[in-house]
Structure 1
Amino acid sequence: MEHIFKDIAAKHWAAWVGLGVAVIAMAAVVFNPLLTDFGKGALVLLAYSGLVVFMWRSLLLAAHLDHRHLLTVCIWSFVMLALGIAALFYSYMHIISNLYPALDKLLNNLVPVLVAIWAAAVGWLIHFKLTTKAHRTNNAFAIIMEMRKNSEIIKRLEIVSYHFPPGSGPIPQSYVPFFAPDALTKARNAAAGAQANLSQIAKLQNGAPKEGFLRNASSALDTANANVEKAEAIQALKFVLNYYEFMAVGIKAGDLDGDLLFSSISTAVIRLFDRAKAYIDFASDEARGGHPDTFCDLKRLSAEWKSRDRNGRS
């Protein structure tokens, strides 16, 4: 019900001109006793035409919105239909009824035809909107369930949660060197080299030098393995952010129920977006090999959801 009057609030100057014409024409019909029957009939048609100009754009926009605006379309289109039939009968009676009385039967038969056309159009719109709503809800539910059932997504989420836990600050500086796309490959190669070096030293004869070499090689291997973990954490973060970007694109395209996803996972998405800002900025920086459109829809969605949070999660 909240949208019934909000949706018809005209924002285009032509709509207000049409409403003004309708009001002036009807005022002339009601208050000018000098008008002929022809003049009255013509002014009623003019008033209805002005009302159509006022309403059509708002109704068209409401019809393109989601199911919550269906009541606006149903109620106001019926009002316009009823007013149109009334204007048609009034104008007919004042202009041509005496000249063409045979048209009475045709006019009476026209009413059920117009009502049937309106009912069919509104029925199709209701079916289409509710079916679309069901598909969007099912798709959004599938997105949420994938995060709880898909082993690959769960694994990446666990890695991200371990290295960048909820409630923590931005990505630590020690992870920044692993933002580059080839960082994981380089880290794994370095770890393989450190492991090979340790194996070679282990083959040396026992003695004091060997112990020192072993300690250094073991420390180097530990560092290399730690670097691999950090690089894998960044790759997991990239995977999750890409998943959220895919979700944001689906919401923008109208394929996912944004309200359901907002109620379910908006807090997790917003917090991870804030923690990952350093990586998102890196991936969007052309000077460092990124692209300015990287995660663009996730950025938009995060800003939108933050605004809804500030306004009471409406």
Structure 2
Amino acid sequence: MYISLVVPCFNEENNIEPFYNAVEGVFGKNFDNTELIFINDGSHDNTMQELKKIYNKNKNNVKIINFSRNFGKEAALLAGLKKSTGEYVSIIDADLQQDPKYLIQMIKFLDNNPQYDAVAAYQQIRKEDKMLTFFKNIFYNLINRISEVEFVKSASDFRTLRRSVVDAIIQLPEKCRFSKGIFSWVGFDTYYMEYQVQSRNSGESKWNFMKLFKYAINGIISFSNIPLITSSIMGILFCLLSFLYMIFVIIKTIMFGEPVAGFPTIVCILLFISGLQLLFIGILGQYIAKTFTETKNRPVYIIKEYLE
């Protein structure tokens, strides 16, 4: 059985060779039936040079996609999936936080359970800052309430897919991609397998709070129209309240005569409503920006060099 490994790489020069050796050791005799598809996502270090070293050592098992610049992990995943040829396709990071030994467990599970189409790994206990975990929990609770598809908490991109799942994913033409949502949207039966995250072999995580925040916003905008609906409902509600308050002021002025009083109240109401308007304009702007990106029809990525 032929197996493809999709490995996004961004500034991973010290991890390439250890990762390759780890995969070779895990698969053993079956390594000849494995292809490693490395995607160099515009790295600024010597990642490409390290990739070429292992390519020259084993051209039969290694493919390299070299982007013209950094297009992001979502683009790298799509490029790797499109170039994959295996009956099973696994997505795994190059930093060895995701131990390649779990790939064998995923593949064996799919072999023994034909009713499942994919295996996704998740962390029961996350090894990260508690504040970051808190915000991630808020994100998953929120998006599962407003989205039509289910997002499994703590599920990662570390997963193994049957060819049918891969073919479905690469058919989606969208430019603003959010893989966690796409994996759920295409359907198919997925088994969630617990795993333990290892320490990085070298380097630091490329994800900080702001990048994760933008990623979360992208996910919400991509898989839910609820923010737009909420904006419309709030707009109608405040119009109704404003109309009722206007009637109240008119009647009160006619009956009791109070033309000047209430100035602080009016100022507070104006500031509050103006803030809401700016918030809703910002939400609308996010959707317009996504639409603008899609209509430009630019490619998700550009390949500078492809070695196979």
- TM-score by shorter chain over 0.5: no
Please say which structure displays the higher CA radius of gyration: 1
Name the one with the larger helix percent: 1
